[in-house]
Amino acid sequence: MDLQTLTYLVVGFTFAVYIGIAIWSRAGSTKDFYVAGGGVHPVANGMATAADWMSAASFISMAGLIAYMGYGGSVFLMGWTGGFVLLAMFLAPYLRKYGKFTVPEFIGDRFYSRTARIVAVVCLIIISVTYVIGQMKGVGVAFSRFLQVSYEVGLLVGMAIVFVYAVVGGMKGITYTQIAQYCVLILAYTVPAIFISLHLTGMPIPQLGLGATISGTDVFLLDRLDQVITELGFSDYTNNVRGSTLNMFVYTLSLMIGTAGLPHVIIRFFTVPKVKDARTSAGWALVFIAILYTTAPAVAAMARLNIHNTISPPNAEQNLVYEERPQWFKNWENTGLLEFEDKNGDGMIQYTADAATNEMVKIDRDIMVLANPEIAKLPNWVIALVAAGGLAAALSTAAGLLLAISSSISHDLLKGVIMPDISEKAELRASRISMAGAIALAGYLGFNPPDFAAGTVALAFGLAASSIFPALMMGIFSTRINKEGAIAGMVAGIAVTLLYVFQHMGIMFVASTAFLGDMKPNWFLGIEPNAFGAVGAVVNFAVAFAVSSVTKATPDHVKELVEHIRVPTGVAEAQDH
């Protein structure tokens, strides 16, 4: 069966499963819509959380970034996984014990202020919209390549799929759909990695293949990769540090605390039955995520080696003749994500680090994972599976983000502030309408993407780190922080981060230069814009404590609330006896 037909069948089957699950698990109440009824098993919730978390940036972009950044790309692995440890230890169980539907609802109650709740909603929407653009763009890119349709048509189909299972099913439909999507995306990521690792090193486990020798030689894979790319003038793969040590540290910290502050991830821990289950599901989520994240470095290194071996093979008598380029090269040229320019007119492909002589004028990092099976000449069913996995990753996270936006508008703004007496039926209807509106907005931004790349995802983490995470931490662990301090802290943290980003990256949040380019000498302490969320978090904490110290103290009943949510379930009852 040809690749095109097989891809249609595999992707079509997975979409039918997603829609079927959404219809089967249709939300019948606001509790179903917001938190899936609160009865999701912790292992299932861990799998759904992993799918919600592993977006198009994780599936499509991360390995591509590591492939061209080398060791410097470890900031993503350490930050994005380390954040789940913070989430499991310091946030998930306490927020679940509090028992509300949304993050802004907790912030509004803890800081006894509608204004605090509204500020949290605004921060949440800024974070989620920033993040969701990359997901919708990822849907369009994946469709345009594998289904041979235009980017616009691919995006419309993706929007329709999300609309059906998110609007109809709510959190209940999204949860069970994400479990299916996790199975698809993890198979799509690991199966090609196993094939390629076997081919290059003879080792079936990619994580071990990364440190193994090339088949038939005593040369290690990473040593060969270093040799190949340095001969072409590129930086040493295994020693390529991302800017200064301080920048590496701050970037990792920003991604870590940003992970723990992402509203669409936090809301997942309201769906489990008990407080203990929140921590358990966070642990399972980390296990499920680790399968992909430990595979990503191997995929990155092997993809980089494969693409160089194909385009600029070492020790070859001559470079690859353009007219003899392989089919995968032609396929990606059709998308505009791969471009060749014959600068010297010899009809051969010169691929070097020297901009003056390099004729591969565009190799989009996002194609590395999707193109890798084609480059390695894997079977068509594997390539079709990767297409389905990429779409599953983008759709799962997009659905979670859109639900976070929808619930903040319908539950936090409409019911919490504007119409507190609204009926449950009317609130559910408003939830679905706001979800449809959020999908329309995401689609519009997807049709008119402001050059957002994977750096924008890092920016979303920075915004969460500078606004939501400090407010939650102080709300749980400090009785000193009052409503004035929390509001001032959130506003100051996100404002400083946005101002720094605007100043150094421009109004378009251009990621292509700041995210992958050289460190700018005028950056504050050498910290790049996408890493500045950690600095914004420090500003948030400092302002909140400073303002709280000169304003009216937190009321006693709120202090009791803070003390109560920190006491493990069952301890108070045991003390009474």
Per-residue pLDDT of the chain (577 residues; tens, 9 = 90+): 777 788 788 888 887 887 787 677 665 555 555 555 556 788 888 888 888 777 776 787 788 888 888 877 778 888 878 887 888 788 878 887 877 667 888 898 899 999 999 999 889 888 887 777 767 777 776 667 666 777 778 778 777 877 776 666 566 667 777 888 888 889 889 999 999 999 999 999 999 999 999 988 999 999 999 888 888 888 888 877 777 788 888 988 998 998 888 777 777 777 777 777 877 888 888 889 889 889 999 999 998 888 888 887 766 666 788 888 888 888 888 777 788 888 888 888 888 888 888 888 888 777 788 888 888 888 888 888 887 887 777 777 777 777 777 777 777 777 777 877 778 778 778 877 887 887 787 777 777 655 444 556 667 888 899 999 999 999 999 999 999 999 999 999 999 998 887 775 544 344 344 444 444 456 777 788 778 899 999 999 999 999 999 999 999 999 988 888 877 655 444 443 3
Report DSSP state, residue 220.
Answer: B
- My answer on whether 82 and 173 are in the same domain is yes
Number of other residues whose CB lies within 10 A of the CB of residue 183:
16
Angle between helices 454-466 and 468-477 (to 10 degrees): 30
State how far Cα 368 lies from the chain centre: 17
Residues 154 and 107 in one domain: yes
Give the residue among 539, 568, 426, 383 at the shortest CA–CA distance from 3: 383
- In angstroms, the CA 403 to CA 414 distance is 15
Nearest to 223 by CA among 208, 238, 235: 238
Residue 150 and residue 144 in contact, taking contact as beta carbons nearer than 8 Å: yes
| Boundary-marking domain end, from 327, 349, 369 | 369
Of 472, 568, 541, 407, the C-alpha closest to 108 is: 472
In terms of residue numbers, what domain contains 283?
3-309+376-448+455-569
- Chain centroid to Cα 399, Å, comes to 12
Residue 575 lies in a domain: no
Q: Which residues is 338 bridged to in the sheet?
A: 363
Which of 369, 401, 418 delimits the end of a domain?
A: 369
Check if the beta carbon of residue 393 is closer than 8 Å to that of residue 56. Answer: yes
Neighbouring CB atoms inside 10 A of 239's CB total 10
213, with CB counted inside 10 A (0-12, 13-18, 19+), is middle
Let me know if residue 102 belongs to a domain: yes
Residue 577 in any domain: the answer is no
Helix H segments across 261-348? 263-266, 275-311, 327-335
Q: Domain check: are 322 and 426 in the same one?
A: no
Distances, alpha carbon 113 to alpha carbons 299, 356, 464, in Å: 48, 59, 20
Q: Does a structural domain hold residue 467?
A: yes
**Is residue 276 included in any domain, yes or no?**
yes
Say if residue 97 is in the same domain as residue 48: yes
pLDDT of residue 484: 96
Q: By C-alpha distance, which of 405, 397, 484 is closest to 104?
A: 405
End residue of a domain, out of 369, 395, 410: 369
Domain match, 251 and 319 both: no
Are 278 and 354 within one domain? no
Q: What angle do CA 457, 146, 166 make, to 5 degrees?
A: 55
**Integer Cα distance of 500 and 525 in angstroms:** 13
Residues 145 and 270 in one domain: yes
DSSP 183-205: HHHHHHHHHHHHHHHHHHHS-SS
Same domain, 35 and 120: yes
Which residues on neighbouring strands pair with residue 213, listed in sequence order?
220
Question: Which residues contact residue 502 at a Cβ distance below 8 angstroms, ignoring those fewer than 6 apart?
Answer: none
Total tally of structural domains belonging to the chain: 2
Please indicate, yes or no, whether residues 511 and 565 belong to a single structural domain of this protein.
yes
Q: Whole-angstrom Cα distance, residue 47 to residue 431? A: 25
Half-sphere exposure of 427 (CA within 13 A, CB side): 25
Quick one: pLDDT at residue 516? 41
Does some domain include residue 156?
yes
Does a structural domain hold residue 574? no
Q: Which three-class secondary structure string do you get for 23-89? A: HHCCCCCHHHHHHHHHCCCHHHHHHHHHHHHCCHHHHHHHHHHHHHHHHHHHHHHHHHHHHHHHHHH
Residue 54: predicted pLDDT = 76
Sign of the alpha-carbon torsion through 373, 378, 383, 386: negative
Q: Which CATH number goes with the domain that contains 200? A: 1.20.1730.10
Residue written as token pair 């803890």: 110
Q: What element of type H or E holds 338?
A: strand 338-339
Pair 245, 335 in one domain: no
Judgement on whether residues 270 and 351 belong to the same structural domain of the protein: no
**Same domain for 331 and 444:** no
Q: What are phi and psi of 295, to 5 degrees?
A: -80, -30
Q: What is the pTM of this model?
A: 0.78
